[in-house]
Structure formats: C-alpha cells, structure tokens
Structure 1
Amino acid sequence: MSKGTQSTDRLDQQVQLLKDKKNIILQGAPGTGKTYTTASLAVRLCNPSFTELEDHAKVMEEYERLREDGQIAFCTFHQSMDYEDFVEGLKPEIQDGHVTYKVESGIFKRICDKAGKATGEDIISCIDKYIQQIRGYENRREISAKPDKTKLLVWYTEGNRTINMRNVLYESEKGEQYAPYQPNIDKIKAQAIGKGVENNHTAYANAFIKAVKEEYHVEEGTRTKPHVLIIDEINRGNISRIFGELITLLEADKRTDGGAHPIKVTLPYSKESFSVPSSLYIIGTMNTTDRSTGAIDYAVRRRFAFITLEANREVVEGSIQDKDVRTKALALFDEINGKGAEDKTSFIATHQAGDFDLEDLKVGHSYFIAKDLPELQRKMRYEVIPLLHEYIKDGILQAKEGDGEYFSAWEQGECRGPKQAEVSKDPEADKE
C-alpha cells in the first residue's frame, strides 16, 4: 500500500469518527499539521467525490470554495470570547440619534441555521452523477448484490435508457460487453425514492441504488448536506462559558434530524427555539504545549473525540525534493526529536522537564520542510530555536550547558557533535 493510500485511509477513518461523534479535536505540538488536517477533513466530509487529497493546493482551493458557499465556517477562540459573540447577543446601533440594541446571531447560530435549512443532493441526482462516471465499458464498476453477495459489473452505454449489468463470473459467446441484465434507469429512480419498482430486475436495481448511496454518502432519511465549523485554538477560550447551555446539544443523540433524543432550547435574547442539526460537524484544534490556557473540563471532553497528531519524520522525507536538503533536514529532525519513540538521546528527551509527554514537546515536521538550504536555515533560526527558547522560558524544557553549541550549528542547517555524519547519512546515498 502506498503512502498516499495510507494517508487517505487514515483520513477516511477520521472522517468516519467525525460522522459518528459529530465533534472532534485535533491535538498536538506546533507544526504537526493540525490546521491543514482540519481543511482536509472538512473537504472530505463536505465533498466525498473530491479525490485529490494529496495535492495541498487543490485541497485548499476546494476548501475555499466550500467556505465561500457557506458549508465551512472558521473561527478562533480566545480568552475574551463569550456566549454573546459565539451564539447570540445584544449589539448596540444608532437609530434617529438614539442608541438601540438588536439581537445579533454569532457564528455558531448562523451556521446551525444554514445547516438546518440546506438540502443536499438527493438520490436522484446522485444516480445521474454515478451513471456519468460509469459511462462506457472501460469505466465499469464492480458492485455487490445482496443477499447472495454476488459481485456485479455495471456500466452505462451512452443513449440507452438502461444500465448494463452482469455477474463478474459470467461468460458469453456474445463477448465481454454483453449484459444479460438491463434494469431501466427511470424505474431504478422510482424504486430509489419508494414510488415504484424495477419489476424485472428488482434485486439488481437495489444493488445499484446501494452502490450509489455508498459512493456519495447518501444517508437514509435525510437530504441535508454537511456543514463544518472549525474552531482553531479551541482550548484558549472558556468553552463552557462560550457554549453556555448549548453544550448539551452538541451530543450526537441530542441533535435534531437524526438524534435519538433531540433537544431544543429557547435562546435568552431572541427567545427563538434553537437546536443543533445532525448535519453540523465541529472540528477543533488544540496546541498541547500551550500553558496559558486552562484544561478542558470533563463535561466538554465527553462531547468530543480527540485525535493526536504527532511529529512525523516520513512527512519530512517525502516533502523535500533536493537530496542534500532532505539529508540535513532529516538529521536535524532526528537530533531534535529523536529517531523514534524509544530514542532518549535527542535534544527534547535530554531537556524534558515538568509533566509534559515527550511527544507533546517535539518540534512538528512542518518546521523542517524546506525547498533549499537557506529556507531550512531561516526556519531553524527564526522558528525552531525561538520555539525551544520559549519552552525553556516556560519551564517545560530545562536549559543545559552547551545549548548554545546546538543553536549555533542549527542556524547553519547543521547538526551538533560527532554523531552528525552517522545521523545525517542519506539512505539513498548507498544506491548511487
């Protein structure tokens, strides 16, 4: 399995967790890719047909399109944010020379309203899209037919009013493109919405409908399309105060349009009846080394699932094209973070202090990705070294004699000490 496939599989697992829990928090040290992962998750959830997840620029382009369409909203929590900013509050305005107050919705209420009202593509339009994807025998798909778990090949011939189907094991003298089963498209659509049946090929029509639903993530009983609220630095705000009584409504079973025990509340200012729709998903990010914030309380933790993003050496290795720069970047990554979880000789491991986990203190992989040596040197001088100085100042790393030698070497993009030649050796070098 390729790294790209592994990455997509991992992302799909995270998307499934988000669908199940409705609320997740990505936590990790600075530079571990939390912000970019939120964008990838939001795009994958909102547009399951988007497949170019390995292309950073295209992911961000699709993210921006979805944001402009209102399916994705973004905000950052901070210590002065409160319920009135996030949900709704009274805002002053001047009318006829007098100060009056009006109720103004916050970002959370606005996206809940959008998610509750927006209807997504129904099964009919999804069938039409799927048919275009299987146009021509060369674009045939393999689907499953229940209850006997038969595997079917399906494809569409331009101009026909039927779908071509045959068992994957079926052989005919008429050629491989012969289709003994040809359910009618209009009857398939009628069967999909419960207003008819493909009486000649009912089971095959059901198999086709199931394949379409799986392809486009069409859920039973709902036509709403997903909306995502991204909350950056979620632990920098007082979450219980910001959400107020709505914290209970975040639970999956308390949501409307899908929850087992939907709840509505009356908002204090507008007096409107309010609920959180099942089609709204919340993705928060949290910096695990930020000591300026308080801990997230248990009431909040119960309503979120947590995904930890770690500093990943493979990302550095796969992101740098220049061999010499890659060699230096990997050597620096190893010297600062260690070669693995058991490496206790790294800078982070030998300077660890306080009660932080070692993984929380590692410098994220994004700090080591550079296109050339000058960029790598700038990142070390102006980003990595200041970050480590801040950790030392905050007491989560302890200063040691000889730290200056490390910092001086890193500013040049080099490792410190006699181990450099061994540590920084490029595994590709032996192949040349």
Structure 2
Amino acid sequence: MPYADIRVLATLFQALARPSEAIAVNHTRFYHLGLALWGKSIFGNNPLTAAEYEAVLDLSDSLFDAMEQWGWAPRDLWDAQGFVWVTCKEKPDMDGGRDADRVRDHALKTYIEPARARGDDRVSIRCGDVHSALGLSAAHANVCQALRGQKFQKMAGTGVPTYTGPDNSSTTTFTYELGGASLERTDGPAPTNLILYGPPGTGKTYATAAEAVKLCDGEAPDGRAALMARYRELETEKRIVFVTFHQNYDYETFVEGLRPETGASDAEGASAGFRLEPRPGIFREICALAEQARTRSAPSSGSISYDFSGRRFWKMGQGAIGSEDDVYDAAIANNYIALGWGGSIDWSPERFASFDAIKAEWLEQNPDDPTPSNWTQTWPFRSEMKVGDIVIVPYGNTAFRAIAEVTGEYRYEPSAEGYYAHRRDVRWLLTLDEPLPLDTIVEGNFTMRTLYALAKKRVNLPALGRLIAGDSDTPAETGSVATPEQFVLVIDEINRANISKVFGELITLIERDKRLGMGNALTLTLPYSKKRDFGVPANLHIIGTMNTADRSIALLDTALRRRFRFKELAPDETLLPQSSEGIPLRQVLRTINDRIEYLIDREHRVGHAFFIGCEDKDAVDAVMRDKVIPLLQEYFFEDWSRVAAVLGEPKGKGGGFLDCRKIKDPTGEGGEDRESWSVRKTFELDAYRRLVGKPVEDVPAEADELDGAEDEA
C-alpha cells in the first residue's frame, strides 16, 4: 500500500475517536502546506513516523489557536483540517513559479518588449545571459526548452525561433522575428489537408504511401519496394500514423476520452479503487509528437545518430505526480536523477556493492520497516545502473516526460535528510512540456515499480533516436532555419465516420492558417483533460481516402469540404496490359465502366486495381466471378437484368458470365414466368467477346505484355 494511504488509514480512526486531539492526515494537502511554510515536504519517503505525526499535530494545534484568534470559533481539529483542505488544494507557487515560468517572464520583459518598443525587426536571446540573470544553477537545458517552446512563442507573439551554437548550452542563442509568424511558413512545407477520392479499386490507399513519404521527406524513392521500405521506417519513427474510420469511430477515440483506470498513476504499490482518467486519442498523440518536433531544435546536417550499443535502458520515476513535483523539477534543474527508497543511509561504501549487504544493513537499521523496495530498488540504482545507460522518466504508466543519459556514479546527498537523497548525475537528452505516449518509444505499458530495467527489444530505437537527435552537441549552421520534421496522419475511409462527431471543435484548428506556427494560429481547451492551449501543429499533414461508391462527396459536411483539398483517382485502364491470354483487359474494364456510368453514375465505376496482377485467364476469371460480379449485384440491388446488361449478356438468356432459366408459376394460376439468374462456374473467351462487343479472333493473343514502361502499375 502506498505511504500516502497508510498515513490516512493510520490517523483517520484516531481523529474520529478523539477529534480534539488527533487529525486525519491527507498527504497531498499537508505536503502542499509543508512546501508553503518551509519549502519542503513534511513527510519522508516512509510510512508515517511518530515524529512526523507529532509535527502535524503541533502545526494543527497552532492553526486551531490562530482560527480562535480570528474569531472563527473552531470546534475541534476537524475544522483545522477543513482549513488546510480548502487552502492547500493546489501546490504553492514557489519562488515566483517554476524556473521555466521565470525564464519566459524575464525574456519577455527584458528582451522582447524593449525590442518591440525600439521598433526592432528581430531580437536575439543568449541562453547563458538569462541563466546568469536569474541566478540558476546548471539549468541551461531548462532555459533553452523554455525559450524555444510554444508557450513562450505565444506570450511573445512570435513564430518558431532560429538558433545558433551548440544546443542546450550557455552559448545557445535564439533569434525571434518580431513581425509575428507569417501566414505562410518558410521553414517547411505548408500544412496539407488532402482527400484522395474515387470508386473502389482505384488505388487510393495504395497512393497514400507515396503522398505520405513525399510530405515527410520532400520526395519519394523510385520503385515500390524502396518506397514501402521508407514508409515502414517513418512508421517505426511514429512520423506516419495510419487509422481507418468506421461508423462507430468517435471523438473519444480520435482526440481524447475518459478511460477506466485502477491503482495509482505513478507510484509503486498502487491504491485500490476505480477512476476515470482522460486518455489521449491517436490524433492528440501525433499532434504532441509533431509539436515536440516543431518547437525543438532540429538536428544539424553534420549530426550523427545516437549510438545505443552497449547501453541498458531503465524506467525510473521522479516523485509522485502532483504531490512530489518538486522532486522532478529539482532533478531537471540540477541534472540528476533521485531515488526515494533507501532512507538516510549512505550506500556509497564498497561493502554495499551486493544485494544481500544492502538488505541486511537496511533491516538492521530499520527493523520496523521491512518494505522490500528499500533494498530491491536501491541495489540496482547503486550497483547495476552504469554510466552511459538511458533512463526514461514516466508520466503514469502510459506516457513519459523526460529521457536522460547517466553520467555519474551513485552518490548520497546528506542535505536532503533522506528525502530522495540517493542520486546519480545525468545529461538530460529530452524534457517535455507535455508528456508523449509511451508506445512512441517503448512497447507495452510501464508497471508501477519506481525503478527497473527495460528489455532492449521493447525499446523502439529509431523513434528514440529521432526524439533525442536534436539535442546533440553539434553546432547548428549560423543563421540557418531548421526545418522541423514532418508528420502525416493517414485516415482511410474518412467518409465512413461522422466527421463532425469525430473532429468536434478541432475542425477549425486543422485549417491551414489556424495551425500552430502560422499567422492566425488558434488554440483551445480540451473538454476531458482540460489541457489548455491545444493546437494542431503546422508540420502535421492529414491525408484521407474516400470511396465514392460508399458515400458521395456531395454528402460530406460542408465544413470538411472547405478545409480539405480533393484529388480524384479515377479508374485507369492504361495501367493494365492490353490483353491477357486473349482477353482484351483494357477494353473489358472500359466497357464495364461506361455501362455502370450510364446506368448509375461515375462514382460507382470499377477500379483498375481489381485486375492488377492478373497474368492469365484464370486470374481474370477469378476477379470477375469473385469481385466484379458480386459488386455489381450490390450496386443494382440484385436486379439481375441490369447486371446482365453491364456484362453484355443477351436479355433473358445469359450464356457468357451468367446462366438464366425460367421458373414457372407453382400455383398454377397462369402467372408470368420469372427469371432465375446464377453465375457460371467457368467463363469462355466468348463471354469477354460478348462483353466488349468484339469477335474474339480480333483480339491478338500475343499482345499480353504492357505497351511500355508508362503502363506499369
């Protein structure tokens, strides 16, 4: 059971029995109270001790006396606890806010506003100058992150800054254009909202691969094999995401929704219970990835991909989310990771190199606290973790908020008085304002243990390398404008879902000029997570496909039509060979489509993809029997006379693709005969002759090859 729950249960019944002498300890509220009064937690990383509870009672008695002096007439310590409950709900604003907020405020008032007042076109901010002015310690990475972030861009009314010098260093210099972000981007392709539409079988989904790779890389490789190889690489890096819409697809699945969760979100020893937690959908996840790429520094042309060989990977929490944020903030600011288990014992001496030695020492010094984590977590942190290993800091069990490289051996910090006193120095490779989904870099979810090694096969090395590539020590080219990596969301069958229901209020944010980084950028607050300033990055492109036979584009929401560019992919018989074993394949497809367009409309034509790869008559027969004819049955609602008309069958006879027989009136009342149609098991060449209205001998059997390279699919 988590220590926070132990504190409540250990004191609740005492408070109920002796309300004037005891108080129920709510961990979060009293933690916030300790921060407000002394700048640190009242509690250690341990079950509630007698000394800690005595300190809480002394504080509560003092508060009770103060309330009496104010004339509030408190009845017992429950009233004192009520005061704490109301006033200490939120974490106090320490030292004027987090360092990032101080950095933004200082940069705005010291650099941006004076430059605008002078009428300057641009202004440069050197990371080391801000770091020194605020008296920060080893926090250059934090300063750089704050200065390049979306929040500061919005405060300053600028676009994405350019930068010079090594990233995350004292000499990193950001330059901001003070005219605001232009309506058209100059640091990458303009946002694309594209829908590929056409009848079934015209290669819409097939074509999305080339479109997506071209948007990500600027060009697509020649040849299908090379194209798909690159497509898979981009998928692995999470830069291309594919999703298929259907009738039950909704906002909660696509953007965000509430999902049932049990246990604590980030602490070992989860508490029991059930709750609903906001979880991001696929669209919000790729937006977070794109925004992280848009606002970070892009890798320079001379940078080398990160070498993960010989390194181990670790999951390690840095304080409980919400109640111990000071632990994470201090770790980021001072370039270390800290372990809360292990108490106030210095485990540095060589005699503690073994697991058994740490366990024995802990039990000897703390006989009343046999919590296994005090040795099972301490030993790997002290002895197994090595310099060069990679540490992933979680945000709950399904997201992460930072990545670090271990640079130092285990050390003990006496001044911490046992509160996350066990530390290792690190180099922060990535710190995030908004956590990213865990499956971006790790397969599966985290468990709630504070620290454990991750199997290397679970780690998506290409995606991890892409995320930290921008944080290299290679200087950027002076004056260069870094082009952010591009991301593509492919939505197959986009018209099968209720678009207004799926996109909701975000239908406005996907407009080209409303994207983050554009001149008219808009943001909003999401309904479930209450995340503020959510926007759609300009480096995220959306490609949809739409089967016009399923639903006409005329029925699409007008708001959707206005925000997307539509590109038709029509049946193209020139992608097929002239003939296959005497079957005039191109003419067959053209004739079928002409008749469908006459009897229904052009949106229900048959695509060329049905016949791609048909190298002999048997393959063509199979396509006609198993795909084309069933599709015609659906189109004409089992009106076989129209199916027969499309296939060129004699009226009421069949004989090529279909058989037709007459059925007599079984009642004997003289009713008209009815036609019973069925698909023949085999098709003769004569069937195709009838279909195209051409004698079979006129079709050259030797014309089985494609006319030229231009006819290749």
Shorter-chain TM-score category? 0.5 to 0.7
Tell me how far apart the structure 2 counterparts of residues 396 and 288 of structure 1 sit (CA, whole Å). Answer: 23
For residue 261 of structure 1, give the secondary structure of its aligned residue in structure 2: coil
Cα pair 1:373 1:413 within 8 Å, conserved: no
1:347 aligns with 2:347: no
Tell me how far apart the structure 2 counterparts of residues 74 and 372 of structure 1 sit (CA, whole Å). Answer: 34
Alignment of 1:18-417 (within 5 A): 19-20=189-190, 22-48=192-218, 50-52=220-222, 55-95=223-263, 96-118=271-293, 122=298, 124-125=300-301, 193-194=478-479, 221-257=481-517, 259-272=518-531, 273-291=533-551, 295-317=555-577, 325=580, 328=583, 331-335=584-588, 337-338=589-590, 346-352=591-597, 356-357=601-602, 360-369=603-612, 370-393=614-637, 398-400=642-644, 402=649, 404-408=654-658, 412=683, 414=685, 415-417=688-690
Moved more, 84-93 or 373-382: 373-382
Cα pair 1:248 1:254 within 8 Å, conserved: yes
What is the match of residue 82 of structure 2? none
Say if 1:23 and 1:351 are closer, same or farther in 2 by CA, change over 3 A.
Answer: closer
Cα pair 1:74 1:232 within 8 Å, conserved: yes
Cα pair 2:287 2:536 within 8 Å, conserved: yes
For residue 538 of structure 2, give the secondary structure of its aligned residue in structure 1: coil
TM-score, with length taken from structure 2: 0.39
1:421 aligns with 2:696: yes
Tell me how far apart the structure 1 counterparts of residues 593 and 208 of structure 2 sit (CA, whole Å). Answer: 27
Tell me how far apart the structure 2 counterparts of residues 325 and 288 of structure 1 sit (CA, whole Å). Answer: 29
For residue 260 of structure 2, give the secondary structure of its aligned residue in structure 1: strand
Unaligned runs of 5+ in 1: 1-17, 129-188, 195-219, 318-322, 339-345
CA deviation vs aligned residue, 1:386-406 (integer Å, no higher than 9, x gap): 112211118899445637445
Say if 1:103 and 1:112 are closer, same or farther in 2 by CA, change over 3 A.
Answer: same
Tell me how far apart the structure 2 counterparts of residues 303 and 410 of structure 1 sit (CA, whole Å). Answer: 48
For residue 622 of structure 2, give the secondary structure of its aligned residue in structure 1: helix
Say if 1:410 and 1:125 are closer, same or farther in 2 by CA, change over 3 A.
Answer: farther
For residue 657 of structure 2, give the secondary structure of its aligned residue in structure 1: helix
Tell me how far apart the structure 1 counterparts of residues 190 and 640 of structure 2 sit (CA, whole Å). Answer: 35
Tell me how far apart the structure 2 counterparts of residues 92 and 228 of structure 1 sit (CA, whole Å). Answer: 29
Tell me how far apart the structure 2 counterparts of residues 388 and 377 of structure 1 sit (CA, whole Å). Answer: 15
Tell me how far apart the structure 2 counterparts of residues 123 and 293 of structure 1 sit (CA, whole Å). Answer: 41
Tell me how far apart the structure 1 counterparts of residues 639 and 206 of structure 2 sit (CA, whole Å). Answer: 29
**Bigger relative contact order, structure 1 or 2 (CA pairs below 8 A, ≥6 apart):** 1
Say if 1:105 and 1:289 are closer, same or farther in 2 by CA, change over 3 A.
Answer: same
Say if 1:33 and 1:47 are closer, same or farther in 2 by CA, change over 3 A.
Answer: same
How many residue pairs align between the two structures? 310
Say if 1:256 and 1:396 are closer, same or farther in 2 by CA, change over 3 A.
Answer: farther
CA deviation vs aligned residue, 1:257-290 (integer Å, no higher than 9, x gap): 2x12000111011111210000000000000111
Tell me how far apart the structure 1 counterparts of residues 219 and 475 of structure 2 sit (CA, whole Å). Answer: 24
Cα pair 1:43 1:50 within 8 Å, conserved: yes
Cα pair 2:606 2:628 within 8 Å, conserved: yes
Tell me how far apart the structure 2 counterparts of residues 307 and 396 of structure 1 sit (CA, whole Å). Answer: 33
Letter in 1 for 2:506: L
Cα pair 1:316 1:326 within 8 Å, conserved: no
Tell me how far apart the structure 1 counterparts of residues 547 and 682 of structure 2 sit (CA, whole Å). Answer: 25
Tell me how far apart the structure 1 counterparts of residues 597 and 628 of structure 2 sit (CA, whole Å). Answer: 16
CA deviation vs aligned residue, 1:264-318 (integer Å, no higher than 9, x gap): 111011111210000000000000111499921111100000000011122113x
Tell me how far apart the structure 1 counterparts of residues 199 and 209 of structure 2 sit (CA, whole Å). Answer: 18
Tell me how far apart the structure 1 counterparts of residues 278 and 553 of structure 2 sit (CA, whole Å). Answer: 30
Cα pair 2:689 2:696 within 8 Å, conserved: no
Cα pair 1:27 1:288 within 8 Å, conserved: yes
Moved more, 245-254 or 400-409: 400-409
Say if 1:396 and 1:255 are closer, same or farther in 2 by CA, change over 3 A.
Answer: farther
Tell me how far apart the structure 2 counterparts of residues 348 and 86 of structure 1 sit (CA, whole Å). Answer: 36
Say if 1:420 and 1:75 are closer, same or farther in 2 by CA, change over 3 A.
Answer: farther
Tell me how far apart the structure 2 counterparts of residues 394 and 22 of structure 1 sit (CA, whole Å). Answer: 41
Shift of 1:374: 2.4
Shift of 1:420: 4.1
Tell me how far apart the structure 1 counterparts of residues 514 and 544 of structure 2 sit (CA, whole Å). Answer: 20
Shift of 1:373: 2.9
CA deviation vs aligned residue, 1:39-83 (integer Å, no higher than 9, x gap): 11111221236422xx22332222111111100001111111111
Tell me how far apart the structure 1 counterparts of residues 211 and 290 of structure 2 sit (CA, whole Å). Answer: 17
Say if 1:406 and 1:274 are closer, same or farther in 2 by CA, change over 3 A.
Answer: farther
For residue 274 of structure 1, give the secondary structure of its aligned residue in structure 2: coil
Tell me how far apart the structure 2 counterparts of residues 127 and 44 of structure 1 sit (CA, whole Å). Answer: 23
What is the match of residue 435 of structure 2? none
CA deviation vs aligned residue, 1:11-38 (integer Å, no higher than 9, x gap): xxxxxxx954510000011111101100
Say if 1:300 and 1:280 are closer, same or farther in 2 by CA, change over 3 A.
Answer: same
Tell me how far apart the structure 1 counterparts of residues 681 and 482 of structure 2 sit (CA, whole Å). Answer: 55
Moved more, 35-44 or 277-286: 35-44
CA deviation vs aligned residue, 1:400-420 (integer Å, no higher than 9, x gap): 563744525895374132514
Shift of 1:353: 6.0
Cα pair 1:93 1:99 within 8 Å, conserved: yes
Cα pair 1:352 1:398 within 8 Å, conserved: no
Tell me how far apart the structure 1 counterparts of residues 681 and 478 of structure 2 sit (CA, whole Å). Answer: 64
Tell me how far apart the structure 2 counterparts of residues 245 and 423 of structure 1 sit (CA, whole Å). Answer: 60
Tell me how far apart the structure 2 counterparts of residues 423 and 288 of structure 1 sit (CA, whole Å). Answer: 35
Say if 1:37 and 1:350 are closer, same or farther in 2 by CA, change over 3 A.
Answer: closer
Tell me how far apart the structure 2 counterparts of residues 270 and 397 of structure 1 sit (CA, whole Å). Answer: 57
TM-score, with length taken from structure 1: 0.63
For residue 516 of structure 2, give the secondary structure of its aligned residue in structure 1: coil
For residue 325 of structure 1, give the secondary structure of its aligned residue in structure 2: coil
Tell me how far apart the structure 2 counterparts of residues 75 and 191 of structure 1 sit (CA, whole Å). Answer: 36
Letter in 2 for 1:239: I
Letter in 2 for 1:269: Y
Cα pair 2:596 2:605 within 8 Å, conserved: no
Say if 1:49 and 1:35 are closer, same or farther in 2 by CA, change over 3 A.
Answer: closer
Shift of 1:192: 5.3
Bigger-Rg structure (1/2): 2
CA deviation vs aligned residue, 1:144-187 (integer Å, no higher than 9, x gap): xxxxxxxxxxxxxxxxxxxxxxxxxxxxxxxxxxxxxxxxxxxx
Tell me how far apart the structure 2 counterparts of residues 278 and 371 of structure 1 sit (CA, whole Å). Answer: 45
Cα pair 1:88 1:104 within 8 Å, conserved: yes
Say if 1:121 and 1:391 are closer, same or farther in 2 by CA, change over 3 A.
Answer: farther
Shift of 1:366: 1.1
For residue 24 of structure 1, give the secondary structure of its aligned residue in structure 2: strand
Shift of 1:324: 6.0
Say if 1:350 and 1:375 are closer, same or farther in 2 by CA, change over 3 A.
Answer: closer
Cα pair 1:378 1:411 within 8 Å, conserved: no
